[in-house]
Amino acid sequence: MNDTDQTTQSMDENNDGAPIDDVVFEETAEGEGEALSADKIKKLRADLRLAQTEKADYLTNWQKERADFINYKKGEDERKKQTLDFAREQFTEELLPVLDAYDMAFANKEAWEKVDKSWRMGVEYIQQQLVKVLLDNGVTEIAPKEGDLADSNIHDLIDTIPTTEVAKEHTVAAVMQKGYKMRDRVIRPARVKVYAHTKE
Protein backbone atom coordinates (compact mmCIF):
# COMPACT_ATOMS: atom_id res chain seq x y z
CA MET A 1 0.00 0.00 0.00
CA ASN A 2 1.45 3.42 -0.97
CA ASP A 3 0.96 6.85 0.65
CA THR A 4 -1.42 8.13 -2.04
CA ASP A 5 -3.97 5.53 -1.05
CA GLN A 6 -4.19 6.80 2.51
CA THR A 7 -6.97 9.16 3.66
CA THR A 8 -7.32 11.19 6.79
CA GLN A 9 -10.35 12.08 8.82
CA SER A 10 -10.50 14.78 11.51
CA MET A 11 -12.89 15.16 14.42
CA ASP A 12 -14.40 18.45 13.12
CA GLU A 13 -15.08 20.00 9.69
CA ASN A 14 -12.56 22.85 10.06
CA ASN A 15 -9.75 20.62 11.30
CA ASP A 16 -9.06 23.32 13.90
CA GLY A 17 -8.59 22.45 17.53
CA ALA A 18 -8.86 18.70 17.02
CA PRO A 19 -6.12 16.75 18.80
CA ILE A 20 -3.74 15.25 16.29
CA ASP A 21 -3.67 11.94 18.15
CA ASP A 22 -7.43 11.58 17.64
CA VAL A 23 -7.09 11.61 13.85
CA VAL A 24 -8.05 8.21 12.42
CA PHE A 25 -6.20 6.87 9.40
CA GLU A 26 -8.60 4.56 7.58
CA GLU A 27 -7.57 1.40 5.80
CA THR A 28 -8.09 1.20 2.05
CA ALA A 29 -9.56 -1.58 0.03
CA GLU A 30 -6.22 -2.20 -1.57
CA GLY A 31 -4.20 -4.66 0.43
CA GLU A 32 -7.40 -6.17 1.82
CA GLY A 33 -7.36 -4.62 5.21
CA GLU A 34 -3.65 -4.21 5.54
CA ALA A 35 -3.20 -1.75 8.41
CA LEU A 36 -0.90 1.23 8.33
CA SER A 37 2.26 0.59 10.18
CA ALA A 38 2.80 2.44 13.46
CA ASP A 39 5.77 4.28 11.94
CA LYS A 40 3.74 5.58 9.02
CA ILE A 41 0.93 6.73 11.32
CA LYS A 42 3.46 8.50 13.49
CA LYS A 43 5.00 10.19 10.45
CA LEU A 44 1.63 11.27 9.08
CA ARG A 45 0.65 12.74 12.43
CA ALA A 46 3.96 14.61 12.61
CA ASP A 47 3.42 15.95 9.06
CA LEU A 48 -0.09 17.04 10.01
CA ARG A 49 1.20 18.85 13.11
CA LEU A 50 3.80 20.63 10.97
CA ALA A 51 1.20 21.60 8.35
CA GLN A 52 -1.13 23.03 11.02
CA THR A 53 1.74 24.93 12.66
CA GLU A 54 2.80 26.39 9.31
CA LYS A 55 -0.80 27.34 8.54
CA ALA A 56 -1.11 29.16 11.87
CA ASP A 57 2.22 30.94 11.26
CA TYR A 58 1.18 32.03 7.76
CA LEU A 59 -2.13 33.34 9.07
CA THR A 60 -0.46 35.25 11.92
CA ASN A 61 2.14 36.76 9.59
CA TRP A 62 -0.51 37.72 7.04
CA GLN A 63 -2.61 39.43 9.71
CA LYS A 64 0.46 41.27 11.00
CA GLU A 65 1.48 42.41 7.52
CA ARG A 66 -2.08 43.57 6.80
CA ALA A 67 -2.20 45.57 10.04
CA ASP A 68 1.21 47.10 9.25
CA PHE A 69 0.00 48.09 5.77
CA ILE A 70 -3.17 49.69 7.15
CA ASN A 71 -1.11 51.67 9.67
CA TYR A 72 1.33 52.72 6.93
CA LYS A 73 -1.58 53.84 4.73
CA LYS A 74 -3.02 55.95 7.56
CA GLY A 75 0.38 57.47 8.24
CA GLU A 76 0.90 58.21 4.54
CA ASP A 77 -2.50 59.93 4.30
CA GLU A 78 -1.63 62.06 7.34
CA ARG A 79 1.76 62.98 5.86
CA LYS A 80 0.11 64.00 2.58
CA LYS A 81 -2.39 66.17 4.46
CA GLN A 82 0.39 67.86 6.46
CA THR A 83 2.40 68.50 3.28
CA LEU A 84 -0.64 70.01 1.56
CA ASP A 85 -1.43 72.21 4.57
CA PHE A 86 2.19 73.39 4.71
CA ALA A 87 2.16 74.26 0.98
CA ARG A 88 -1.09 76.19 1.39
CA GLU A 89 0.30 78.03 4.38
CA GLN A 90 3.48 78.98 2.52
CA PHE A 91 1.49 80.19 -0.49
CA THR A 92 -0.83 82.22 1.73
CA GLU A 93 2.13 83.89 3.45
CA GLU A 94 3.38 85.02 0.05
CA LEU A 95 -0.03 86.56 -0.71
CA LEU A 96 -0.29 88.53 2.52
CA PRO A 97 1.69 91.57 1.23
CA VAL A 98 -0.82 91.79 -1.65
CA LEU A 99 -3.71 91.86 0.82
CA ASP A 100 -1.85 94.47 2.88
CA ALA A 101 -1.50 96.63 -0.24
CA TYR A 102 -5.26 96.51 -0.79
CA ASP A 103 -5.87 97.45 2.86
CA MET A 104 -3.51 100.43 2.56
CA ALA A 105 -5.25 101.60 -0.62
CA PHE A 106 -8.69 101.36 0.96
CA ALA A 107 -7.60 102.91 4.28
CA ASN A 108 -7.49 106.46 2.92
CA LYS A 109 -11.18 106.70 2.10
CA GLU A 110 -11.03 110.31 0.97
CA ALA A 111 -8.34 109.60 -1.61
CA TRP A 112 -9.94 106.32 -2.64
CA GLU A 113 -13.30 107.97 -3.31
CA LYS A 114 -11.61 110.31 -5.78
CA VAL A 115 -10.55 107.37 -7.96
CA ASP A 116 -12.65 106.71 -11.06
CA LYS A 117 -15.68 104.74 -9.89
CA SER A 118 -15.57 101.97 -12.50
CA TRP A 119 -11.85 101.42 -11.92
CA ARG A 120 -12.36 101.48 -8.16
CA MET A 121 -15.15 98.90 -8.38
CA GLY A 122 -12.94 96.65 -10.49
CA VAL A 123 -10.10 96.75 -7.96
CA GLU A 124 -12.49 96.10 -5.07
CA TYR A 125 -13.98 93.14 -6.94
CA ILE A 126 -10.52 91.61 -7.49
CA GLN A 127 -9.74 92.03 -3.78
CA GLN A 128 -13.03 90.37 -2.85
CA GLN A 129 -12.29 87.43 -5.17
CA LEU A 130 -8.85 86.99 -3.64
CA VAL A 131 -10.30 86.99 -0.13
CA LYS A 132 -12.95 84.46 -1.20
CA VAL A 133 -10.32 82.08 -2.63
CA LEU A 134 -8.39 82.23 0.64
CA LEU A 135 -11.57 81.75 2.65
CA ASP A 136 -12.44 78.66 0.58
CA ASN A 137 -9.04 77.26 1.57
CA GLY A 138 -9.61 77.83 5.27
CA VAL A 139 -7.85 81.20 5.58
CA THR A 140 -9.62 83.85 7.68
CA GLU A 141 -8.74 87.32 8.88
CA ILE A 142 -7.72 88.24 12.39
CA ALA A 143 -9.12 91.75 12.47
CA PRO A 144 -9.68 92.95 16.06
CA LYS A 145 -11.59 96.14 16.74
CA GLU A 146 -10.79 98.93 19.12
CA GLY A 147 -11.89 97.90 22.60
CA ASP A 148 -11.37 94.17 22.04
CA LEU A 149 -9.35 92.46 24.76
CA ALA A 150 -5.78 91.93 23.58
CA ASP A 151 -4.82 88.29 23.14
CA SER A 152 -1.13 87.42 22.76
CA ASN A 153 -2.10 84.19 20.97
CA ILE A 154 -3.46 86.07 17.96
CA HIS A 155 -2.19 89.62 18.49
CA ASP A 156 1.30 91.03 18.20
CA LEU A 157 1.47 93.82 20.80
CA ILE A 158 3.78 96.39 19.21
CA ASP A 159 3.14 99.42 21.41
CA THR A 160 1.11 100.78 24.33
CA ILE A 161 -1.00 103.90 24.63
CA PRO A 162 -1.45 105.33 28.11
CA THR A 163 -4.99 105.81 29.42
CA THR A 164 -6.49 106.89 32.71
CA GLU A 165 -9.56 104.69 32.13
CA VAL A 166 -9.20 101.44 34.04
CA ALA A 167 -11.75 99.71 31.81
CA LYS A 168 -9.50 100.16 28.78
CA GLU A 169 -6.53 98.41 30.37
CA HIS A 170 -5.04 95.84 27.98
CA THR A 171 -7.62 96.40 25.25
CA VAL A 172 -6.91 97.14 21.59
CA ALA A 173 -6.29 100.82 20.93
CA ALA A 174 -5.45 100.58 17.23
CA VAL A 175 -4.95 97.88 14.60
CA MET A 176 -1.80 98.49 12.60
CA GLN A 177 -2.02 95.37 10.44
CA LYS A 178 -4.52 92.56 10.05
CA GLY A 179 -3.54 89.04 10.94
CA TYR A 180 -4.48 85.77 9.28
CA LYS A 181 -4.96 82.18 10.31
CA MET A 182 -5.52 78.92 8.46
CA ARG A 183 -8.22 77.08 10.32
CA ASP A 184 -6.87 76.99 13.90
CA ARG A 185 -3.25 77.80 13.04
CA VAL A 186 -2.12 81.43 13.16
CA ILE A 187 -0.13 82.32 10.04
CA ARG A 188 0.45 85.92 11.08
CA PRO A 189 -0.84 87.61 14.25
CA ALA A 190 -2.55 90.98 13.98
CA ARG A 191 -0.24 93.87 14.89
CA VAL A 192 -1.95 96.08 17.46
CA LYS A 193 -1.40 98.87 19.94
CA VAL A 194 -2.98 98.37 23.35
CA TYR A 195 -4.05 100.67 26.14
CA ALA A 196 -2.01 100.69 29.33
CA HIS A 197 -3.58 102.19 32.43
CA THR A 198 -1.75 105.04 34.10
CA LYS A 199 -2.79 107.24 37.02
CA GLU A 200 -1.56 110.40 35.37
Helix (H) or strand (E) holding 141: strand 139-142
Could you write out the DSSP letters of every residue in 23-50?
-EEEPPTTTTSPPPPHHHHHHHHHHHHH
pLDDT for res 23: 54
Q: Which residues of the chain have pLDDT under 70?
A: 1-36, 200
CATH class held by domain 141-200:
mainly beta
pLDDT for res 24: 56
pLDDT for res 183: 87
Give residue limits of the domains in the chain: 3-72, 141-200
pLDDT for res 26: 55
pLDDT for res 19: 56
pLDDT for res 22: 57
